[in-house]
Amino acid sequence: MQSKIPLNSSTTLFPGGTLSDWNKRGSNCLESPKVPYGPMNFYCQKVIIDYADFDNVIYGWLDNLADLNTDSDYIRQRIADYLTDFYSIGLTGFRLDAAKHMKAVDITNILAKFKHNIGGQLPENFFSWLEIISGNEVDVLFGEDGEYSYAGGMDKTLKSLWFSDDDIVKVKIWWSSYPKNYNVDNGHIDPRRKVIQNDVHDIKYADFRGLVDGGKGCILNEGCEVDKHRNFEIKLFEAPYDIKDNLNEAPIRMILSSFNTKYNGLRLKGLPDGNSDCFKSCKSDCDKCKARSIPEFPAYLEDGKAYSGTGFTRVHRDEKIISAMQKWLLFILANYLF
């Protein structure tokens, strides 16, 4: 069982430790009575304005979330203890959200402390994977060395912290360069650490459409036909782009059932939870609101169908995609058994 966890944004790190708690105590006072953090445990508040400036990416506040000082050994230990609590209730791994907003060396030290907490050895079935949406900074993020490198740099740090080669493979990365440029790392990372998928929720917004440039993917609400999108999902399992060893490379492959944000001819950023339905909740300026309104669409429907055209895409319920996934898993099983 896995859990999605943002590590360095403290507004979601501990139950009750919210920005509203701190604001009640003064807008410049970064303290919460419910967690053992004070003003010195955070980076100074600054807006992220330049993703080519790594200091800005690491030390800036993402979407105004109070940013924990992960240079601090105390903070690293607190986060490791937090992961250990989850492990103690049965989780066998973690998806670490927005990982590139922490230095790779910070994450490796947190994982080392977590490993120490559970007895000095990672379980056989453990894995973590880091959400890293790469852009023009790929040469640094996936370079051969450096504290910002999640490839060669992270490998070296993990080895210095007594991680075995098998343990390092368990620290995986969502490879956002797939399908556009799977080999963007120039061989600096073990391909068994790569997690691949075709879609990402952010890809529905203009800033991320470049991830599928080059004819290797398409966006459903950008005019992509269902059959074309389905074929990209099938290819993910049958013959992924630029993968030479379909048995061992990118052993974790994901399909994303996301919300189709195009509604009434508009691309919207509201949530389909009922709270963005202006026809129910609008009290002023309703004409403008209703033009952007999204009705409630339940994420789970017992009889929900894939590619229904509205609401959630539910590609995980498409029979042809399921068949391709099953054949790939049987291919792996057959090779390991025989």
pLDDT single digits (tens) 287-316: 766 666 777 888 888 998 898 877 788 899
CA distances from 80 to 70, 73, 187, 233 (A): 11, 10, 30, 35
Classify residue 263: in a domain, yes or no.
no
Rounded-to-integer distance, Cα 288 and Cα 276, Å:
13
- Asked whether the predicted pLDDT for residue 24 surpasses 80, the reply is no
* pLDDT at residue 76, rounded to an integer: 94
* pLDDT at residue 284, rounded to an integer: 67
On average, the pLDDT of the chain sits at 80
* pLDDT at residue 268, rounded to an integer: 64
- Please compute the mean of the pLDDT values over residues 5-21 and round it to a whole number: 47
* pLDDT at residue 101, rounded to an integer: 87
Q: Is the pTM of this model over 0.85?
A: no
Classify residue 90: in a domain, yes or no.
yes
CA distances from 110 to 68, 101, 275, 334 (A): 13, 14, 37, 37
Distance of CA 332 to the CA centre of its chain: 25
Backbone angles phi, psi at 303, to 5 degrees: -110, 20
Strands 252-254 and 194-197: parallel
- Asked whether the predicted pLDDT for residue 35 surpasses 80, the reply is no
Total domain count for the chain? Answer: 1
State the residue range of the domain holding 100: 2-197
Q: Is the pLDDT higher at 253 or at 142?
A: 253
CATH number, domain with residue 161: 3.20.20
- Asked whether the predicted pLDDT for residue 210 surpasses 60, the reply is no
Classify residue 27: in a domain, yes or no.
yes
Confidence of residue 80 (pLDDT cuts 50, 70, 90): very high
Rounded-to-integer distance, Cα 150 and Cα 132, Å:
9
Classify residue 335: in a domain, yes or no.
no
Q: Is the pLDDT higher at 201 or at 65?
A: 65
* pLDDT at residue 18, rounded to an integer: 42
